Structure 1
Amino acid sequence: MTANPYSTPVMLEGSTVRLEPLSAAHVPELAEAVKDGELWNLWYTRIPTPESMAAEVESRLAQQAAGSMAPWAVRRLDTGALCGMTTYMNIKAEHRRVEIGSTWLAASAQRTLINAEAKYLLLTRAFEELDCIAVEFRTHWHNHASRAAIARLGAKQDGVLRSNELWVDGSRRDVVVFSILDSEWSSVRLGLTHRLARN
């Protein structure tokens, strides 16, 4: 059986970050990285605790095996430390679409070039290697930092899915949907390369 390239993560490396195909071997470093900022306490997002990191990695690898996710561990190159995770998810290979999501970064890696370059690497693979026609991003309405970061990439807001999910505490999650189309990739790529070169 031929592996689905959409759900097969490959090593992706830039000047500030390396995206490594996720494995169980990453668990100890990721459990340490998530303590930076105690990210699991953010009420508007779902980020694993150090204690649940092994189960989270196992879940992502199971979704990869099922063909619905391509998961990566994010390693910053200045210190060599892992600083988060990201994925292609909700893969629709027959429609040449992926969502970039289930992403978290340690507090010390936020507001650096790490996120922008990681997204640049993922978008380049999606559009130039996998021939995607669209790449989607989703975030919580109240996650203003994430919404701003997605917009800075050059993605356009498609709309808001109101009461789209029930949170663990019973509250409702309004989901903001963004996307970049293949026809927009050349201008988005230009903006990202300019942004990365300036820093």
Structure 2
Amino acid sequence: MLTPITLRGRLVCLEPMTMDHVDDLCSAALEDRSTYDYTNVPQGREETKRYIEGALTSFDKGRTLPFVVRHIETDRIVGTTRYLDLEVFSWPPPWPPGVASGPSPADATPPTVAEIGSTWYAASVQRTGVNTECKLLMLAHAFDSWNAIRVTLKTDARNMRSRSAIQRLGAAFEGIRRAHVPASDGGVRDTAYYSIVADEWPAVRTNLLERLQRGMKRPTE
């Protein structure tokens, strides 16, 4: 299990998710739900409580590292995101070189590959710099601190808004996994897969920094 971390930028602070965030996260999800058609976003306090309980159970098993997103200027919780599908490569040994590998992610054996996902934001911060900085902070930690070799991003293939946002990060489209998982609307989801590998990270980082420095407003995500 990885130790919870806090990632802070200029616009947002990514804080470890706890049960204390139920009310704030519930409020964020209730602002305007019109963009959540293909996204699993809890509605109401009880759903939000179960949502956080599920995330923390997965964290306890070493599978995820969930955050809430705090908007620094307003000091409000405005969404959530997480690392998931954390995997430590054990072959060829040792991986990474000079570090003993183990069966599950830990601070001494950071993830070799990871995914960034389960991301959603309150309507008031969508199409602002919030998502750009969240991704910059998380990608930087994955590639620069963990020395990960790959980060995956994926979304419902029908979610063109999310797909466009991922593409603007500089992630490479890999294809569609058909009939992949249950969809948030009750059907069966085809999933669009994207990735960034370590060699691509410098260019992606430059792109994200330039977007933040230009102070893009709407549309920016």
Shorter-chain TM-score bucket reads: over 0.9
CA distance in 2, matches of 1:170, 1:50: 19
Q: How many residues align?
A: 193
Any gaps of 5 or more consecutive residues in structure 1? none
Q: TM-score under structure 2 normalisation? A: 0.83
Alignment match of 1:25 (pick from 11, 17, 20): 20
Greater shift after overlay, 115-124 or 165-174? 165-174
RMSD: 1.5
The corresponding residue for 1:155 is 171
**Superposition pairs for residues 183-194 of structure 1, below 5 Å?**
183-194=199-210
Question: Contact conserved, 2:78 with 2:125, CA < 8 A, in 1?
Answer: yes
SS at match of 1:91: strand
Q: TM-score under structure 1 normalisation? A: 0.92
Alignment match of 1:50 (pick from 44, 58, 76): 44
Letter of the aligned partner of 1:142 in structure 2?
Answer: R
* 1:42 Cα deviation after fit: 3.0
The corresponding residue for 1:77 is 72
CA distance in 2, matches of 1:143, 1:75: 25
Letter of the aligned partner of 1:145 in structure 2?
Answer: R
The corresponding residue for 2:155 is 139
User: Is the radius of gyration larger for structure 1 or structure 2?
Assistant: 2
CA distance in 1, matches of 2:126, 2:188: 27
Any gaps of 5 or more consecutive residues in structure 2? 90-110, 216-221
Alignment match of 2:116 (pick from 94, 100, 108): 100
SS at match of 1:79: coil
If each structure's helix is expressed as a fraction of its own residues, which one has the higher value?
1
CA distance in 2, matches of 1:168, 1:194: 34
The corresponding residue for 2:181 is 165
Q: Provide Cα deviations, 1:117-172, integer angstroms capped at 9, x if missing partner.
A: 00000000000001100000010011111000001111010110011123366522
SS at match of 1:138: strand
SS at match of 2:73: coil
The corresponding residue for 1:91 is 86
CA distance in 1, matches of 2:33, 2:182: 23
Q: Percent identity?
A: 37
CA gap of 1:77–1:169, structure 2 versus 1, over 3 A, is: closer
The corresponding residue for 2:105 is none
Alignment match of 1:118 (pick from 134, 140, 148): 134
CA gap of 1:194–1:87, structure 2 versus 1, over 3 A, is: same
Question: Contact conserved, 2:39 with 2:120, CA < 8 A, in 1?
Answer: no
CA distance in 1, matches of 2:66, 2:5: 10
Letter of the aligned partner of 1:18 in structure 2?
Answer: C
CA distance in 1, matches of 2:57, 2:23: 19
Letter of the aligned partner of 2:37 in structure 1?
Answer: W
Question: 2:173 aligned with 1:179, yes or no?
Answer: no
CA distance in 1, matches of 2:74, 2:184: 35
Question: Contact conserved, 2:39 with 2:184, CA < 8 A, in 1?
Answer: no
Letter of the aligned partner of 2:44 in structure 1?
Answer: P
* 1:47 Cα deviation after fit: 1.1
CA distance in 2, matches of 1:119, 1:168: 23
